[in-house]
Amino acid sequence: MFVQKVFEKASQSELWSFVSLSLVIFVMYTLRDYMKTVLLSLKLSGPTAIPIMGNCMLIKEKNLLRFHAAKAFSLYGSLVRIWVLLFPFFVVLQPDDLQLILSSKKHTNKVFFYRFMHNFLGNGLITNSGDKWHSHRRLIQPTFHLNILERFIGTFADASQALYEMLDPLADQDINITHYVNNCIIDILNEAVLGVPVKKTDVQMEPSPFRKGQLVIPHRFLKPWLLFDSIYQMTQLASDELQQKRRLNEFTRKMIKVRREMREKNEIQNKCLLDYMIEISDSNPGEFTEDDIVDEACTFMLAGQDSVGAAVAFTIFLLAQNPECQSKCEEEIERIFGDDNRAPSMQDLREMRYLEMCIKESLRLYPSVPLIARKLGEEVRLSKYTLPAGSNVFICPYATHRLPDIYPEPEKFIPERFSAENSEKRNSYAFLAFSAGPRYCIGNRFAIMEIKTVISRLLRSYHILPVAGKTAFLPVYRITLRASGGLWVHFKSREHKLTDLSC
């Protein structure tokens, strides 16, 4: 009996040892990629992390850009370690390394926190990954061909004329340009994406709710416990966000219904992006449903507001601070239009080469989206280190755009950096204002045309002057880049200013 009990205890002990060992092996196998990234992170340098929270406080308005401005490359090298809670992220700075990641279709998946945008943006091109993203990108891409984008120039011109009419009573005063520019961009998006006209019409239409969007991701990072959906869903913040999303979705569905009815009655004169997406859905009902139309329309509306609005405002501000560059833009515009009061054509916009250089230099200094993230689909070998498959990678245009070996005197506004000759000499992944590779911003040409139209319209009526005491600002990060306290300029009427566009 005694011997039997000993053998039973030994058998139980072996069984538990086997179970424990199997569990350890299973956990190690499941977390093997995570453990590899942790081991690599321990070899790298980066900003000091707080226990558990890691470097989440970098997301606080000023901290992230202070980190960038502190010359991350000179402090930590070309590969920097950052912790988001218990997850290591790798900040990749050098264009050659970025090209390996961004150019590959194997690394198009977004990291986990992009799903926090779903409540706000839905499942559109920005938040989607995998097969759905590939399918939607393939279907929507032809809509952004130049032949179609040319049809939206009239919308850009109408909105820029409305902006002029709003600003003209304020000429010869100091104004914060950001509010007025943002209204102009929302007008453009309402008409170009949803078909809500810029100009007043006899048709009674519900006001667009897209002027009230607010992204809450920064708030969730500052209170990391809100990163857990089970906790976040119990907050008023989550309730407010979902109510806003519901309002946006309901309005978009109403506009889909309106555009379908107009299409049936053959009443559509100027097609908007919603019309093109309805056609895509009708031709590909299994791949592109009405829910997909709503998600993508909301994505274009919400993503295009702050990003393009910031680009226009920063460019206007920098032209005020650099009068010699503004003079070159004015000479270019006078050469194109002379005394003609016509709205710009596609050819006119193409000829605004120096203005485009100024826009790109503004986007170099102040990229609308200063931080991008990817999840590696396979391991990537950089110069000294191998990033394991599954690694979370941060790409920081704000920092890469300031590498002094690529952009000498990086804090200076020098539009000539983007001349055709200088651009050819530079790695194309050194300029990431619209990202790069397969996930390059689908609306980049739309945005450049939009920005050119708005700024050229103002330059045909005003000299833009700096405001004493407000020639500098503090950039802050809230998913998109903003200027703390706004961007102040002074519009001085030109001797023969343009008062009305002939469309």
* Each residue's pLDDT tens digit, 372-389: 888 898 999 987 889 998
What is the structure's pLDDT at 200? 63
Q: Is 441 annotated as a binding residue?
A: yes
Average pLDDT, whole number, for the chain?
Answer: 86
Per-residue pLDDT, 29: 46
Q: What's the pLDDT at 147?
A: 93
Higher pLDDT, 18 or 433: 433
Query: Whose CA is closest to 149, among 193, 116, 90, 95?
Result: 193
One-letter-per-residue 3-state SS of 289-341 = CHHHHHHHHHHHHHHHHHHHHHHHHHHHHHHHHCHHHHHHHHHHHHHHHCCCC
Per-residue b or e along 22-43, where b marks 16 or more CB atoms closer than 10 Å to that residue's CB: eeeeeeeeeeeeeebbeebbee
The total number of residues written for the chain in this structure: 503
Of 12-16, 329-333, 473-477, the least confident: 12-16
Burial of 2 (0-12, 13-18, 19+ CB in 10 A): exposed
Beta strands in 128-238 (DSSP E): 174-176
Tens-place pLDDT, residues 18-71: 555 555 554 454 467 788 888 888 888 888 888 777 777 766 555 556 556 556
User: What is the SS3 assignment for 482?
Assistant: strand
Q: Give the model's pLDDT for residue 363.
A: 97
Cα dihedral 218, 222, 227, 229 sign:
negative
pLDDT-based confidence at 211, cuts 50/70/90? Answer: low
> For residues 405 and 432, is the Cβ–Cβ distance under 8 A?
no
Per-residue model confidence (pLDDT) at position 420: 94
Residue 115 has pLDDT above 80, yes or no: no
- Residue 50's Cα: distance from chain center in Å? 28
DSSP letters, 367-409, are: -SS--EEEE-SS-EE-SS-EEPTT-EEEE-HHHHTT-TTTSSS
- Cα 104 from Cα 165, distance rounded (Å): 46
pLDDT tier at 204 (50, 70, 90 boundaries)? low
Mean pLDDT, residues 433-448 taken together: 93
Work out the number of other CB atoms within 10 angstroms of the CB of residue 83: 22
User: What percentage of the chain exceeds 70 in pLDDT?
Assistant: 84
| Dist CA 188 CA 197 (whole Å) | 9
Residues 305-343: tens digit of each pLDDT: 889 999 999 999 999 999 999 999 999 999 999 989 999
Place of tokens 């880049």: 481
Which helix (DSSP H) or strand (DSSP E) does residue 87 occupy? strand 87-92
Residue 250 has pLDDT above 60, yes or no: yes
Give percent of the chain with pLDDT exceeding 90. 52
Structure tokens at 365: 């200094």
Superfamily of domain 1-7+35-493: Cytochrome P450 (1.10.630.10)
Taking CB atoms within 8 Å and a gap of at least 24, the contacts of 22-25 are none
Of 100-114, 178-192, 230-244, 295-309, where does the model show the most confidence?
178-192
Residue 221 has pLDDT above 80, yes or no: no
Task: Calculate the alpha carbon distances from 283 to 261, 286, 416, 438, 478 in Å.
Answer: 18, 9, 45, 24, 38
272-287: per-residue pLDDT in tens? 999 999 999 999 988 9
With residue 89 as reference, give the H or E element that holds it.
strand 87-92
Tell me the chain's radius of gyration from C-alpha atoms. 26
Half-sphere exposure of 313 (CA within 13 A, CB side): 29
Q: Which of 36, 6, 27, 26 is nearest to 376 (CA)?
A: 36
| CA separation for the pair 248, 240 (Å, rounded) | 12
**Per-residue b/e over 413-432, b at no fewer than 16 CB within 10 Å?**
bbbebbeeeeeeeeeebbbb
Give the residue-averaged pLDDT of 276-303.
92
Other Cβ atoms less than 10 A from the Cβ of 501: the count is: 17
The full set of domain ranges for the chain reads: 1-7+35-493
How many whole angstroms from its chain centre is CA 494?
34
Name the pLDDT band for 260 (thresholds 50, 70, 90). very high
What is the structure's pLDDT at 232?
A: 76
Give 263-272 pLDDT, tens digit per residue: 999 988 889 9
